[in-house]
Amino acid sequence: MTDLHTLTTATVRTQLAEGQISARGLVEEFLRAIPAVDGRVHSYLTMAPERARAQAARLDALAERGEPLPPLAGVPVAVKDVISTRGIRTTCGSRALERYTPLFDATAVERLEAAGAIILGKLNCDEFAMGSSNENSAFGPVRNPWDLERVPGGSSGGAAAAVAAGLAVAALGSDTGGSIRQPAAFCGVVGLLPTYGRVSRFGLVAFASSLDHIGPLARSAKDAAAVLAAIAGRDPLDATSADAPVPDYVRQLDEPIAGLRIGVPREAMAAGAGLDAAVAAQFQAALAQLEHAGCKIVEISLPHAPYAIATYYVIATAEASSNLARYDGVRYGLRVEADSLGEMYRRTREAGFGAEVKRRILLGTFVLSAGYYDAYYRKAQRVRNLVAGDYRAAFESVDAIATPTTPTPAFRLGEKIADPLQMYLNDIFTVSADLAGIPGISVPCGFASGLPVGLQLLGNYFEEARLLRLAHHYERLRGAFPDPPVSLAEAPRG
Amino acid sequence: MKIDRATVAHIAALANLELGEAEMAAMERDLASILEYVAQLDQLELSGVEPMAQVAAPNAAPGDRARDDRPRVWFTAEEAVANAPQAGGGCFKVPRVIQPAS
């Protein structure tokens, strides 16, 4: 029997089909083993034992009847708490939604379960997905399983930490400015940002609608591919979901990579990007391995990339200020009583939101306000077009673009929380893909000061298959990635 | 753009946020530093550049279209107000908006 923390989508399905395990037994093992490890990591906000057991029973019934099993049959997964789950509270890491229970499932959740996955629970995150360290969760930060004194990244910090520590085989996260890829890099797992429109946003609690994406985190490119295949595709409930066909991501993994051209932006390697020397060394080593495997590494330029963070923090906050207007204590969530309606709104929002959410609402309100709209919001939208244009031009001559996912490895808890701008600068390599709407993946590529480093690969629109293939081949060149010191590896199997 | 206390108070009111004194001071400092950073966008020549409001991928059919207009029962009125802090008769309840004449 495989250890819980090394299970893959393929091993679970095979063992279930061959009768070596039962889905119900697997669920019980996870539910029993998670608390001892997660007491230190704090990745789960809510467990969903009843829903998990019911789904497991359905899969066991299929297996017992010898019926064909769906692609993710029996695979224990978990879902970031900004993604709606019917009947399971969805807090968004906020006091405002501490007791909010959705009446519907996000399309990605529905599709994940239809593909046979078992949802174990909901994962901690920065409040409304706003943050790069998970310290903005109203329910306390997640800790990095590689070093409990360090952040797991954010905002999908719970998702990355849970997958790294073996507390789920895979997870759904969300990425608006790097929130899947950055924590994946910090925790040593794979995180995939799909093309905008590739995965339905229906049921994803909105932060910045033109930038929000749902995507998978997993311990391998292959598992990320399997999850993406399950959740991708047109959804009538999201008007921005694309009609593009969904390829067989898993089957395409083994196609060759020799001859692919990989561009390295000189702006990422420039002194101003703040790249840590040890991270740079791991990145160069990864490029050398890809080159040895037949890829061609070429220097490219993304001249507007240095403007991406400034652009992002105008557009994302503008959209957030509008999207978060709905938390007013009327229809759901927290209410602070007052004599007048206006007073109730203001007190409710004052009590419900944390500092970073308020900061972004204020900034977004400011850049949209009369007199500043053109100087900030319209200007940022124009720069967004230039950032996207850089990628359009680059992909005329390269098949993928490589950068480190983050300029440094995971920082210490408390290190950046007092300086919001320093925290934002951590997203320097990730935000521009969200602005352009192109896909990206972060795959672990070694260590700097004992902490995982991420290799980021970006692709043209709807070229997730190529990114997954490159990541999959790279994983083979790299070899097995070790387990973090805090993981389910400690748990004896019952 | 120099942001001052009056501006912060004004946008807080627009955003329906009631900030305390200490919070107001912290926000003034943070917004000033972020806007100073954002000012780098002023260096760019943007005449003739269209604003980009939405991602339009060149190699896919535009997803931006409405679904068929067919009724579908999602949940009952009872269920719809189940998460409300205060509800009654299938409605959301809020503090009195119009005060009775005395």
DSSP A320-380: HHHHGGG-SSSSSS-----SSHHHHHHHHHHHHS-HHHHHHHHHHHHHHSTTTIIIIIIHH
Q: Are A198 and A144 in contact (CB under 8 A)?
A: no
Whether residue A155 lies in the annotated active site: yes
CATH of the domain at B9: 1.10.20
- What is the pLDDT at residue A218? 98
* Residue ranges of chain A whose pLDDT lies below 50: none
Which residues neighbour A224 within 8 Å (Cβ) at sequence distance 6 or greater? A170, A190, A191, A192, A216, A217, A218, A441, A468, A471
Contacts of A304 in chain B (CB under 8 A): 44
Q: Do B52 and A382 touch (CB under 8 A)?
A: yes
Give the nearest partner residue to B60 out of A346, A436, A461, using CB atoms. Answer: A461
| Average pLDDT of chain B, as a whole number | 89
In chain B, the number of structural domains is: 1
**pLDDT greater than 90 at residue B64:** no
**pLDDT greater than 70 at residue B85:** yes
Separation between Cα atoms, residue A167 and residue A44, nearest integer Å = 9
Q: Are A187 and A161 in contact (CB under 8 A)?
A: yes
Q: Are A354 and A315 in contact (CB under 8 A)?
A: no
Give the nearest partner residue to B63 out of A243, A340, A379, using CB atoms. Answer: A243
- What is the pLDDT at residue B69? 87
Contacts of A196 in chain B (CB under 8 A): 55, 57
Q: How far is CA A327 from CA A199, A215, A321, in A?
A: 25, 25, 11
Residue B9 lies in a domain: yes
Provide the residue range defining the domain that includes B24. Answer: 5-43
Q: How far is CA A213 from CA A195, A196, A307, A435, B32, in A?
A: 8, 6, 21, 11, 29
B42 min Cα distance to partner chain A (Å): 8
Ordered by where they begin, the domains of chain A are 4-236+253-303+389-485 (3.90.1300.10)
In 3D space, the residue among A16, A75, A367, A414 whose CA is nearest the CA of residue A220 turns out to be: A75
Residue B69 lies in a domain: no
Q: Are A199 and A238 in contact (CB under 8 A)?
A: no
Residue B39 lies in a domain: yes
In 3D space, the residue among A167, A41, A145 whose CA is nearest the CA of residue A486 turns out to be: A145
**ipTM of the complex model:** 0.93
Separation between Cα atoms, residue A190 and residue A82, nearest integer Å = 20
Active-site pick, A155, A200, A321, A442: A155
Residue B76 lies in a domain: no
Give the nearest partner residue to B92 out of A311, A321, A330, using CB atoms. Answer: A330
Residue B63 lies in a domain: no
Residue B100 lies in a domain: no
Quickly state the pLDDT bin for B62 (edges 50, 70, 90).
low
Q: How many Cα atoms sit within 13 Å of A433 on the Cβ side?
A: 36
Residue B55 lies in a domain: no
Active-site pick, A84, A179, A200, A442: A179
Separation between Cα atoms, residue A35 and residue A294, nearest integer Å = 45
Residue B73 lies in a domain: no
In 3D space, the residue among A9, A142, A165 whose CA is nearest the CA of residue A76 turns out to be: A9
